[in-house]
Amino acid sequence: MKYDICIIGSGAGAGPVAYELSRAGFKVLVLEKGGSYQKEDFFKDEIGVCRRSTFTPALDEEQHVIEDIQDDVWTRTPTSKSGWDFWNGNIVGGSSNFMSGYFHRLKPMDFRLKSQYGNIKGANIVDWPISYADLEPYYTKAEKVIGISGKVVKHPCQEPRSTPDFPYYPTSEHRISSWFDTVCAKQGFYSIPTPRAVLPYAVGNRQGCEYAGYCGSYGCSSGAKGSSREALLNKALKTNNLTIKANSFVKKLHSKEGKVISAEYLDKNKSSHKVEARIFVVAAQAIESSRLLLNSANAEFPFGLANNSRQVGENLIFSSGGSGTGEFKYEDFDTKEVEALKQIGPFVNRSLQDWYEIKEKGKSFKGGTIDFLFEHPNAVSRARRAMYDGELVWGNALKKRLLNHFTTRRVFTFEVFCDWTPTDDCFVSLDETIKDKWGMPVAKVRIGSHPHDIKVGEVLAAKAETVLKEMGARNISSSISPAPPANLQAGGCRFGNDPKTSVLDKNCKAHELENLYVSDGSFMPTGGAVPFTWTIYANSFRVADEIIKHLTSMKKKFR
Ligand SMILES: Cc1cc2nc3c(=O)[nH]c(=O)nc-3n(C[C@H](O)[C@H](O)[C@H](O)COP(=O)(O)OP(=O)(O)OC[C@H]3O[C@@H](n4cnc5c(N)ncnc54)[C@H](O)[C@@H]3O)c2cc1C
Ligand code: SF4
């Protein structure tokens, strides 16, 4: 057999497994449906990113179907009609190329949500089969290997750490950050420097951050951002043990007698290939990972691979919450303050976790995280927002509005991250009629949310608004919505100890197959109240250790 391990996908869930296994001397194959790019290929192409799907599939060729509730009826809308889809970046390195890199660890309580707070009516909350202590060494490893910069400060919600501080000091800070700190201190809130998967200085072949601020939705041209491609795959390639096949869409995994025997993929020309390996790892991002398993049904697994429990695709989760904004109008500030506000480049990088647990009327419930930042510098999307700001205008009136929008104020924003409560109304299945250009049924995603999540998000948004008000912002508003953010997906292949209620065991190996692992965010039974990617990276490093043990024991068996 040419490969010890075949990984489907190349993003945050795949990278650590490819990196660790190839460094341990195993032959690794990565099959990635998208093309291959390097940092030199990325530039600030605003039209390409905002108006065209440069790094995601054309929706008339590959789409999703969304089921949401309208007038109490689940309504099915193909995304080729709505234009709203769940693709986030389909190139080598996956959506980690396009992330903003705001990174937080989960807290110990996130691993035992049910025991700590109990179930909520209509929800499927469970404890994780591992604890924070099991994952902590891997959060620390990710800091070092991915390149996570930050600074530990004392605050009541600080999670336990095995090292006193981050291996990389924080990226440069905007002048407004200390302003934010002062206001928070006055209000009795603990301002936290937000950890970032961004290098402040050059390390190896990666340059330090260039501070253009085009992190979210854009590929990083310096290599400072800790994408799976930049931080892991490029280094793993140097071992000569890793082969990456780009433009290779895996349509099916084939199994026999409880083992995956091959992955069937189609190349750019739609020619079909089959590849064998000892171990298979699925990391295609939560929705596509569930879809691949469902599309791999066979006589042994009539409902989909690893799905005799009927759990594949169930309990899909996102990050719930929303965002808000406020305007710092230059006319409200003195010359020095305006000069500070106009500073371009450094990041605000501030978060609040004072309400990670909320206490109300003697009861506690789970809260969340608020990240603070400036509006994305992307001028196309800022102009589009200005267009909808008030009544529709055009011609000179529109020009005047744009000029005003860009020259008289700075927009400060916040993002709220809360748990997306898992329910029976949020899951992935296969659409009965629509197929993609490869001839495979597309994912149908039911996106029901729990009303509890709105309540939590609103508590946090109100707190964030008080900070903006105190800082002197005007026109403050926020929107907490039940709509899922497409870029923060998890669940669908829960891990757990009981094969009847989970797809994966605690090591993320399928209960029902000997050699199948899932290493993206699909394993998460609950998502915590932070963006997911640090946890995905950390868990994938943990799974890599388990696979190395697995392969080593296989070798001993055959000796
Ligand atoms: C604009 C944006 C901003 C973000 N900001 C943040 C942030 O600030 N903080 C944070 O924590 N997270 C952020 N994220 C989320 C982060 O990028 C993801 O959580 C993370 O990349 C998920 O890793 P993954 O391995 O599950 O998926 P991905 O990284 O998307 O990788 C999956 C890969 O699998 C490939 N694939 C899919 N199906 C197949 C198939 N059948 N065959 C072969 N290959 C396949 C895909 O093309 C893709 O390359 C952001 C994402 C975006 C898009
Ligand atoms: S601001 Fe820094 S991390 Fe972000 S894309 Fe630019 S160089 Fe990369």
Q: What is the pLDDT along the chain (559 residues), one digit of tens a residue?
A: 799 999 999 999 999 999 999 999 999 999 999 999 999 999 888 888 877 788 999 999 999 999 999 999 999 999 999 988 999 999 999 999 999 999 999 999 999 999 999 989 999 999 999 999 999 999 999 999 999 999 999 999 999 999 999 999 999 999 999 999 999 999 999 999 999 999 999 999 999 999 999 999 999 999 999 999 999 999 999 999 999 999 999 999 999 999 999 999 999 999 999 999 999 999 999 999 999 999 999 999 999 999 999 999 999 999 999 999 999 999 999 999 999 999 999 999 999 999 999 998 888 999 999 999 999 999 988 998 888 888 889 999 999 999 999 999 999 999 999 999 999 999 999 999 999 999 999 999 999 999 999 999 999 999 999 999 999 999 999 999 999 999 999 999 999 999 999 999 999 999 999 999 999 999 999 999 999 999 999 999 999 999 999 999 987 765 5
- Cβ neighbours of residue 170 under 8 Å, at least 6 residues apart? 149, 150, 151, 193, 196, 200, 349
Mutation test residue for ligand 2: of 214, 218, 373, the one with most atoms within 8 Å of CB: 214
Q: For residue 557, what pLDDT is reported?
A: 66
Ligand 2 site-directed mutation target among 45, 201, 210, most atoms within 8 Å of CB: 210
Ligand 1 mutation pick, 251, 285, 536, max ligand atoms within 8 A of CB: 285
Indicate whether residue 323 lines ligand 1 (CB < 6 A): no
Contacts from 405-408 at CB under 8 Å and sequence distance 24+? Answer: 406/379, 406/382, 408/329, 408/330, 408/331
**Alpha-carbon gap, residue 412 to 403, rounded angstroms:** 18
Helices (H), 216-270: 228, 234-237
Is there an atom of ligand 2 within 6 Å of 347 CB?
no
**Which atom belonging to ligand 2 lies closest to the Cα atom of 209?**
2
* Residue 322 · residue 461 · CB < 8 Å: yes
Atom of ligand 2 lying closest to residue 225 CA: 3
CA of 222 to the centre of ligand 2 (A): 7
Ligand nearest to the CA of 99: 1
CA torsion angle 361 363 369 373 (round to 10): 0
Question: Across the beta sheet with 259-266, what order do the strands follow?
Answer: 249-256, 259-266, 272-275
Q: What is the whole-number distance in angstroms between the Cα of residue 33 and the centre of ligand 1? A: 13
Residue 144, classed as helix, strand or coil, is helix
Which of 225, 207, 208 has its CA nearest to residue 216? Answer: 225
CB 511 within 8 A of CB 505: yes
**Ligand 2 centroid distance, CA of 142 (Å):** 19
| Helix boundaries (H) for 102-251 | 113-117, 132-142, 176-187, 228, 234-237
Of 41, 33, 38, 16, which is closest to residue 242 (Cα–Cα)?
16
At 356, the amino acid letter reads Y
Residue from 198, 206, 344, 378 whose mutation best tests the ligand 2 pocket (most atoms within 8 A of CB): 198
C-alpha dist (Å) from residue 139 to 65, 98, 160, 166: 35, 21, 11, 11
Report the separation in Å between the CA atom of 225 and the middle of ligand 2, taken as the mean of its atom positions.
6
Ligand 1 mean position to 121 CA, how many Å? Answer: 31
Category of 508 on φ-ψ map: left (φ > 0), alpha (ψ -120 to 50) or beta:
left
Which of 187, 244, 217 has its CA nearest to residue 7? 244
